[in-house]
């Protein structure tokens, strides 16, 4: 299980409040059996409407690792396809003014930190990125700080989810797999669990 403490790389600004999950990944892509290939369809309809002018289409942002957004990002449905599409496009962390609760939880379950900054900081970051798309941002999750050129600002993430990321315990399935022998040993001691019937 990976520990998430620092993420460094170029960023991409995405302006606008209340960007919902249907805009992040349109509903027609939810019928996929796996999440493979979702990245290329992130913001598909928004990108089509802007005919190449959407940040996710612009060449200067194609190597971005950090997404900088505004208020209530990821609102709408609970589809986990939304953070999956963003992650498979290449994003490893999101900075925003606020996030929809279920979207936030889905991101944490994938190891993607969503940190909150005040509106002025977000605006400054988006401006700095637009001016210099090659500028590197560094998110220090352990100390809840963001650095970008001459910008140093505080960001915030609730202690519980943040500790899961910096402690490497965010992956619930990974923890079960890593502790398979301990789980098996415990189950073997329980009179109401027939472990031999569960695992051949």
Span 15-40, average pLDDT: 90
135 DSSP 8-state letter: P
Q: What is the pLDDT of residue 31?
A: 80
Better-scored residue on pLDDT, 97 or 185:
97
Q: How far apart are CA 140 and CA 8, in angstroms?
A: 9
CATH of domain 6-169: 3.20.19.10
Better-scored residue on pLDDT, 125 or 29:
125
Domain chopping of the chain, boundaries: 6-169, 170-200
CA dihedral 192, 193, 196, 200 (to 10 degrees): 150
Span 81-110, average pLDDT: 96
CA 107 to chain centre: 4
> Residues 106, 97: contact at Cβ < 8 Å?
no
Q: Which residues pair with 148 in a beta bridge?
A: 137, 151
**Residue 123 scores a pLDDT above 90:** yes
């Amino acid at each position: 299980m990976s520990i998430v403490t620092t993420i460094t790389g170029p960023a991409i600004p995405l302006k606008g409040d209340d960007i919902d999950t249907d805009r992040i990944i349109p509903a027609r892509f939810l019928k996929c059996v796996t999440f493979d290939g979702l990245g290329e369809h992130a913001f598909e309809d928004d990108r089509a409407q802007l005919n190449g002018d959407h940040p996710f289409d612009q060449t200067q942002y194609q190597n971005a690792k950090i997404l900088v957004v505004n208020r209530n990002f990821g609102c709408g449905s609970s589809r986990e396809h939304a953070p999956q599409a963003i992650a498979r496009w290449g994003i490893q962390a999101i900075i925003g003014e606020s996030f929809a609760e279920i979207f936030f939880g889905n991101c944490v379950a994938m190891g993607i930190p969503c940190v909150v900054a005040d509106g002025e900081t977000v605006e400054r970051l988006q401006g700095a990125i637009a001016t210099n798309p090659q500028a590197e941002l560094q998110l220090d999750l352990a100390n809840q700080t963001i650095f970008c050129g001459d910008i140093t600002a505080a960001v915030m993430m609730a202690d519980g989810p943040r500790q899961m990321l910096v402690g490497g315990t965010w992956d619930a399935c990974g923890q079960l797999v890593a502790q398979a022998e301990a789980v098996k040993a415990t189950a073997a001691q329980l009179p109401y669990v027939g472990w031999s019937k569960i695992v051949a």
